[in-house]
A and B are shown apart, each in its own frame.
Chain A
Amino acid sequence: MTASPLAPPAVRAKARPLGRRADARSRRWRWFAPTMLVAVLVLVVVSVLFGDNFRISPSDLLHWLTGQSGVDPLAKFGINTRLPRALLAVLVGAALAVAGALLQALTRNPLASPDIIGVSQGVVAAVLVFSVIFPNMPYAYVDWIQPICGTVGGIGTAAVIHLATRKLGSAESTQFILIGILVGGILTSLSSLALLFLGSDATRVFGFMSGSLNLKGWSDLRLAAAYLVPGLVLLVLALPRANALQLGDDVALGLGQRLGRDRLLVLGASVLLTAGAVTVVGALSFVGLMAPHMVRRMVGSDLRRLVPASALMGAVIVLVADLAARNIQPQRYLSGLGDAIGFAYLPTGLYLAVLGVPFMISLIWRRS
């Protein structure tokens, strides 16, 4: 060996401006994680304290939390309706954001998210078709059959997309997403058809179609939490595999992955998290797409940081959207619209779209 090949790069490194440094990034993560945790906590408390009907005093909340007697019964009622709703917002926001981060790594495509590849639409379509076939089922049955139905719909959709792309003999991400969009489109048509059949009953499911936390209580929170247990187990198995998969199929294979199985595991984790969230609150859009993008520049693409960061960001996004849904009611100021909608709350998903679209546009502008 003559000159060491290692000498010139050090010289070149000085000549070029330094890139974003990751030690800065891990420092950022060190304040980002606790800050976001505090933000989630504060937003949950604010969600409990503020609602359009009445405010709950912080002392009442504190008394309720510490189990003291003498809490104003009205406040108690308020807490019992708002707290599960806020916690549910945390769960579904985190689940959808993590599902999006996993799918973006799996497909190596920044566009991937559960509502774009059709999984959310699968859950919605299954639930709507179920309502059409069994219109008069007692609520006691609906409460547990409907979630099963939705989950099967979501998993079935993912299975169809998986099989279709596997049969094509390619895991090309564009094909995966295109087929997902096609399947999603077909399922949306199916949902529209179901709406026609539902007739005047359709108003009941409008909230579900765009995703809504209205009227959600402790039982819904328990249902969502029940999905989290298998969802988290799958996530732990899927995360390191997705981390290698995002380097490309050939690299992942070279590292000793079994592509078919490992890809299915990652897809399965994201589908289960999506199905759990969408079955309970409906097809909340944008969270899965938006949350990972909001944190990616901050914490990087390594999923070991990106996934928890996305989860926190997803929780914050849905909490903010739901806070808006419960406190900003345009129908009160627009009398014409108010007559049509009455005093019902608008669905959370609507506010999510209102918040999400400008954000995504600004993100695209900043990138280019």
Chain B
Amino acid sequence: MANPMTQSDTTDPAAAHPALHARSVSVGYESRTVCQGIDLAIEPGTVTCLIGPNGSGKSTFLKGCARLLDLKGGEVYIEGTAMADLSSIEVARRLAVLPQSPTTPPDLTVRELVEQGRYPHVGALRMLRHQDGEAVAAALEATGMSAFTDRDVDALSGGERQRAWIALALAQETPTLFLDEPTTYLDISYQLEVMHLVQELNTTRGITIVMVLHDLNQAAAYSDRVVCLRQGAIVADGTPAEVLTVDLLRDVFRIEASVIPDPRSGKPVFFPHQPLGAEPNLP
């Protein structure tokens, strides 16, 4: 159902490459290495979720792959090309990344925000002109923000604001999109709104999605593949049903839980009972 040709400029030989390939990537901060030697290949047109407890390095790994952090070792290939061989602006034409809870300056409209997504395509100087071409209109349309273009971003609801930021990433017109905890601090209805949008971008436009999610049930419901990290290493990798198991929840997330299939979608859903080692709290 995904159509990988709508967005990307990939030709046939490039299509043979994974959208993103991390080879023994090590990444961290200053003196601390958080992720050590991670290998991961992302197939084009898929939705992949990175999960893991706090401090597992999932966000750090995503940032490393998006060149927001310098790698301490290894290499990241994007559509078969080593990222180190590409300029930052060339990477920005292939990979858009939405950081965790970005802050918007006050008094900036949705259109002005989304226009910035054209930066890697037109270059700094031409950004002096207004960018209201097709890409910006399409990004606003796809996120349902067309009616909000002239509203201030900081006057929007949490869900609308997040959709505006996703529109900025879409205006970059990249085949791959990284999202770092796109639902954090949002009400549940907005969370689902954002997740639905992400799913739609994948199914209708074939955009490859890699995201970090905190909510395991959402990770299971909305992704083709779930990758679980602990202490900077991958401990589980597969379909949601393969990864989200009672054993994984006990070993990695340190909770006792039951996992059952969602009666509607068949995807696994977990119910937490108690932290590992605590007395069961039954009536």
Contact = CB atoms under 8 A, between A and B. Distances in A.
A20 B66 CA distance: 35
Interface string A251-262: 101111110000
B96 A254 contact: yes
B244 interface: no
B56 interface: no
Contact of B144 (A9, A246, A257): A9
A22 B109 contact: yes
Contact of A21 (B63, B106, B130, B150): B150
Contact of B124 (A20, A240, A251): A240
Given A22-B150, A256-B88, A251 B99 contact: yes
A23 B112 CA distance: 12
Contact of B105 (A16, A18, A20, A108): A108
Interface stretch (A143-151, A276-284, A297-305): A297-305
B116 A237 contact: no
A240 B109 contact: no
Contacts of B193: 5, 8-9
Contacts of B66: 254
Contacts, number: 130
Nearest to B130: A304
A126 B92 CA distance: 43
Given A22-B111, A300-B107, A256 B128 contact: no
A301 B108 contact: yes
A361 to B, nearest CB: 19
B125 A256 contact: no
B161 to A, nearest CB: 11
B144 A6 contact: yes
A48 interface: no
B72 interface: no
Interface of B: 30, 63, 66-68, 87-93, 96-99, 102-109, 111-113, 116-117, 119-120, 124-125, 127-128, 130, 144, 147-152, 155-157, 159-160, 163, 168-169, 172, 193, 196-197, 199-200, 203-204
Nearest to B196: A5
A76 interface: no
Nearest to A246: B105
Contact of A20 (B125, B155, B172): B155
10 contacts: A8-B193, A9-B159, A9-B193, A240-B125, A247-B104, A247-B105, A256-B91, A256-B92, A257-B88, A301-B107
B255 to A, nearest CB: 31
Contacts of B97: 250, 254
Given A13-B148, A237-B124, A250 B203 contact: no
B92 A302 contact: no
A268 to B, nearest CB: 14
Contacts of A1: 199-200, 203-204
Contacts of A256: 87-93, 119-120
A362 B276 CA distance: 56
A54 to B, nearest CB: 45
Nearest to A250: B99
Contacts of A258: 88
A297 to B, nearest CB: 6
Nearest to B169: A254
Contacts of B107: 20, 296-297, 300-301
Contacts of A188: none
Given A251-B99, A256-B91, A23 B144 contact: no
Interface of A: 1, 5-6, 8-10, 12-13, 16, 18-23, 25, 105, 108, 169, 236-237, 239-241, 243-244, 246-248, 250-251, 253-258, 296-297, 300-302, 304
Which of A1, A253, A256 neighbours the largest number of chain B CB atoms within 10 Å of its CB? Answer: A256
A23 B103 contact: no
Contact of A302 (B108, B149, B151): B108
A244 B155 contact: no
A25 B150 CA distance: 9
Nearest to B197: A5
Nearest to A367: B106
B151 A19 contact: yes
B103 A248 contact: yes
Contacts of A302: 108-109, 112
A22 B67 CA distance: 34
Given A5-B200, A10-B147, A108 B103 contact: yes
Given A5-B144, A240-B124, A250 B151 contact: no
Query: Which 4 residue pairs across A and B have the least CB separation, nearest first?
Result: A256-B92, A19-B155, A256-B89, A6-B144
Given A21-B151, A254-B66, A239 B128 contact: yes
Which of B88, B91, B124, B149 neighbours the largest number of chain A CB atoms within 10 Å of its CB? Answer: B124
Contacts of B120: 255-256
B109 A243 contact: no
Nearest to B1: A1
Contact of B92 (A6, A19, A20, A254): A254
A255 B30 contact: no
Nearest to B203: A1
A9 B126 CA distance: 33
Which of B88, B111, B172 neighbours the largest number of chain A CB atoms within 10 Å of its CB? Answer: B88
Nearest to A19: B155
Contacts of B105: 105, 108, 246-247, 301
Contacts of B87: 256
Which of A20, A21, A169, A253 neighbours the largest number of chain B CB atoms within 10 Å of its CB? Answer: A253
Nearest to B154: A19
A365 to B, nearest CB: 17
Given A8-B193, A254-B92, A247 B102 contact: yes
Nearest to A254: B97
A38 to B, nearest CB: 25
